[in-house]
Structure 1
């Protein structure tokens, strides 16, 4: 199963979490956008994740695959934030870069 939708969704949820003050890591450690911009980036990445799945699998199956990968990305982010919060945010940018790479290859 292609993972570009899940990787984009992980980056989107990380951006949404960065918009909240209680989840935001201390300044200076990881460069993060402002909270207002992080919400917009997160929503855009989540919509992009769904569109990537629909593009890959068609409307019917793509919607299901997209929702499943979005849900799995949320679970992975929550588990990673409870274990290593800074690492969870640090993995968001490489996840997005890998999603872009996978989209460009296939």
Structure 2
């Protein structure tokens, strides 16, 4: 999981992942859409590949990159435990706010 977070911590790599959510792209397409040069884009894609977040397929003389779902499913599973905690806290906050509203006296009734 640390490898995943390290790879996604770099803004350009996170943008690449966002681009690849829409489907596979070549290095040139990623570079063009992000306004990066091709060697720089290739380095970012290599880091994402090494982290297991993307996979590459050679098609003729092009390299096509696409997301691998497994690391993202693992990340989602890990985040699920935090979602439960957040949901419980939001539920308690809702209860507290409702309690405060019930205790509040409308301005017209203060006479």
TM-score of the superposed pair, with normalisation by structure 2 = 0.28
More RCO (CA 8 Å, sep 6+): 1
More strand by share: 2
More helix by share: 1
TM-score of the superposed pair, with normalisation by structure 1 = 0.29
